[in-house]
Structure 1
């Protein structure tokens, strides 16, 4: 075989392994790009005209106790990375629970099933303290890399595991990393979930629409702005570095709350015990909560309580903003 023939065979094998897409995005017909856009969309706003007890705004705090699941997902099994996750469970969670108890605040904990299996007492402890436990993947997997069958299997296993260990059947989901595959919504609906907290089409609650049809599922939209994980993490071997000083971040979060309060909307926060649970960052969270407490008319609620309220009000009060 000549060198030229060998090169041709190598190129043919390469073409077989990595086929080019049939069409590039700029070659799509209108029905193709429109179909992608409209598959999962924001429907009517579910922002109510009034919150319970006449509150001016709602505050929904959430924590994702990912612990060791992220390094495990990436096949990282050495003690160094795992110890950073262990910090979240060993130190971060006790600090967070003590803060919530001191201020009598409810919260939602979106917990990977593997983390619940590692620490059943932690999962049960959330519900025993009146908090909510929600779905957050099996091992913080990237669901966009899964086929629908495996994604469905993991999501159902996660719901069953959390129910068994926490004593509470999850009614909501936050997908790991807020990834959302083409199958995620259909599986969530099959599970009978009340709400999702992974999509970002609004500041306030809205109804999720699939292919132009209302689904009845509530979206409680998160945002990276209100997530501790974009400001503080550090990875020695990558370009990941802390984005800002903790005291600078609390200013962003205060502004987010102040605007939500002025608009009579929802202030939703996403935090991670292995991130926010460090001393200097707990000071920031305490300062934020103190700022919120200085305002009258705040309804503190779990994500499930917010979703149930806005959905119920949109169905029963035709004069509410949610049904307009």
Structure 2
């Protein structure tokens, strides 16, 4: 038994997907607890034998009640409650006399009402558990509320989120302290009040606390920056009857260096420049206002049977292989259309459709068009440029333009090369036929760029024994130094798609198909979180930041994959105004506008 002696107890943690919440879950797990991790956002990590992920709204009584019930059904009675969930807004700190009523009501609904309902239904669940056990008291019944240091000490400009949240939450502590002992003589409630905590949302995590400061017009001190681990260990200490004994009704500070000091807001800093904690020092950077959004460029490649005819052609392909193409049309497309409709993004995505799919599956194609999505080209039979002569590639392009025009009444403006296998000839053809965008290349990973007007091929090296080394020791052409065309590249790459890791092709060497969807989901999340951190930190000055994702009805339409896709898209949507789903055409137009029509 450890010093805390909380092994085997069931802990319920709200706000479990935030920087502090995740660390609390990890710390409870490390001390032997079974943990139900609750959050409004779907969990990005997979469950295991001792972790149960649930999502819901703590301000909705039915939702939190059902979540508690599900937790009890999974792990049995709940012994420890960590009421950690809440909302904050570090970008806005109005004085209390400037605070809009609707803002206060939003905060009250989540931070106060939500905390109250969480505690209420935890206690109700404890009463039921004790009644079902013949009146025997539950062991180690503990409640820990987390709030803000400035809710305890007060701080100007934090009225609506920090002080409002924590002050009112802490008001529950003495009330519950005196009432909870009526149902369990040893039950306790305490609160943890973090100050500045170095989560990933404010910069690069520090390995150890240190003193950080500005020098100039006065000194702004951010001393002994706390880590999420510091908060989590305080929570676990208070959760343990053995460790914290009869401590109840207390608000314990986790010193983040805020109490007793004036901490300046961004606009009050010298030169009106914001600060960010980064790589063990404070970096002063120019303010980017308003903050750029991350544009979600969701592209769907409706390959179907064509995927087996062009780049996927192989003499050993069978009728069984082709049947996966029929699945794409008859199952995958309707599932994706229904998902996009449910998420209200149907007209904010781009479908890249081979001509073969248009002609083979006309009803599915009409449904895609009716959804309001952008329609772009993707070859006819999923051919790569190297499989065709120049005339064949031109004929394919003209045929597919005609097919889309017949469906939509207008020329397509975008193109993605099958298997990303285009050539310099392809780029020249797209320019000749006045396409707006392509999405087949990856010179960059998250910003659009103009493709060269006359792209130059990179010649392979001739390593024949009779060749001389000086014949190949020459630099390749740098595409940035070439004259630009009006064709805009919206980059994508192999790591931004579903098919390669999640679908098995018997005769394709690099296919996988048996990868856990959570591995891919986590990779997509990691990519987004890095781009978001660059945006938050101000290191990205791009006017248009793009997060591209390529999916296929063949793959993401499968039952074990579409649930992951839905979780991931919901996770993106939870970032609110920081993200916006857009068609590739709209992203390209917006980016071109930022360049003043430059080519």
Between stretches 143-152 and 188-197, larger displacement belongs to 143-152
Say whether the 8 Å CA contact 1:112–1:136 is kept in structure 2.
Answer: yes
**1:173 match:** 415
1:78-117 to structure 2, matched below 5 A, reads: 78-105=318-345, 106-117=348-359
Say whether the 8 Å CA contact 2:314–2:507 is kept in structure 1.
Answer: no
Corresponding position: 1:143 with 2:424: no
**2:362 match:** 120
Q: Deviations over 1:169-203 (max 9, x none)?
A: 21000011111123101110111100000011001
**2:520 match:** 249
Distance 2:361 2:506 in 1: 28
Structure number with larger C-alpha Rg:
2
1:3-14 to structure 2, matched below 5 A, reads: none
Distance 2:402 2:325 in 1: 24
For the residue of structure 2 that corresponds to 1:315, the secondary structure is coil
Q: CA RMSD in A?
A: 2.3
Closer, same or farther: CA 302–78 of 1 in aligned 2, 3 Å = same
Deviation at 1:243, TM superposition (A): 5.7
Q: Deviations over 1:220-245 (max 9, x none)?
A: 00111111122112134565433621
Deviation at 1:107, TM superposition (A): 1.0
1:11-160 to structure 2, matched below 5 A, reads: 56-73=293-310, 74=313, 78-105=318-345, 106-160=348-402
**2:501 match:** 231
**1:183 match:** 425
**2:436 match:** 194
**1:312 match:** 593
Corresponding position: 1:215 with 2:500: no
Closer, same or farther: CA 68–250 of 1 in aligned 2, 3 Å = same
TM-score by length of 2: 0.43
Closer, same or farther: CA 152–238 of 1 in aligned 2, 3 Å = closer
**2:261 match:** none
TM-score by length of 1: 0.77
For the residue of structure 1 that corresponds to 2:309, the secondary structure is helix
Distance 2:288 2:357 in 1: 37
Closer, same or farther: CA 237–62 of 1 in aligned 2, 3 Å = closer
Deviation at 1:86, TM superposition (A): 0.6
Larger helix percent: 1
Give unmatched runs, 5+ long, in structure 1: 1-48, 317-321
Q: Which residue among 276, 279, 300 is the counterpart of 2:559?
A: 279
Between stretches 113-122 and 236-245, larger displacement belongs to 236-245
Say whether the 8 Å CA contact 2:500–2:512 is kept in structure 1.
Answer: no
Corresponding position: 1:262 with 2:533: yes
For the residue of structure 2 that corresponds to 1:221, the secondary structure is coil
Say whether the 8 Å CA contact 1:124–1:166 is kept in structure 2.
Answer: no
Q: Deviations over 1:80-121 (max 9, x none)?
A: 122101101111111101110111112111000011011222
**1:12 match:** none
For the residue of structure 1 that corresponds to 2:452, the secondary structure is strand
**2:97 match:** none
Distance 1:269 1:169 in 2: 24
Distance 2:288 2:562 in 1: 31
Higher RCO, Cα 8 Å, sep 6+: 1
For the residue of structure 1 that corresponds to 2:550, the secondary structure is strand
Closer, same or farther: CA 139–237 of 1 in aligned 2, 3 Å = closer
Say whether the 8 Å CA contact 1:88–1:273 is kept in structure 2.
Answer: yes
Deviation at 1:302, TM superposition (A): 0.6
For the residue of structure 2 that corresponds to 1:170, the secondary structure is coil
Say whether the 8 Å CA contact 1:108–1:132 is kept in structure 2.
Answer: yes
Distance 1:145 1:238 in 2: 16
Closer, same or farther: CA 231–75 of 1 in aligned 2, 3 Å = closer
Deviation at 1:207, TM superposition (A): 1.1
**1:17 match:** none
Distance 1:138 1:78 in 2: 21
Distance 1:142 1:311 in 2: 28
How many residue pairs align between the two structures? 269
Distance 1:192 1:50 in 2: 34
Distance 2:507 2:395 in 1: 34
Say whether the 8 Å CA contact 1:228–1:272 is kept in structure 2.
Answer: yes
Q: Which residue among 561, 565, 576 is the counterpart of 1:296?
A: 576
Say whether the 8 Å CA contact 2:431–2:486 is kept in structure 1.
Answer: no
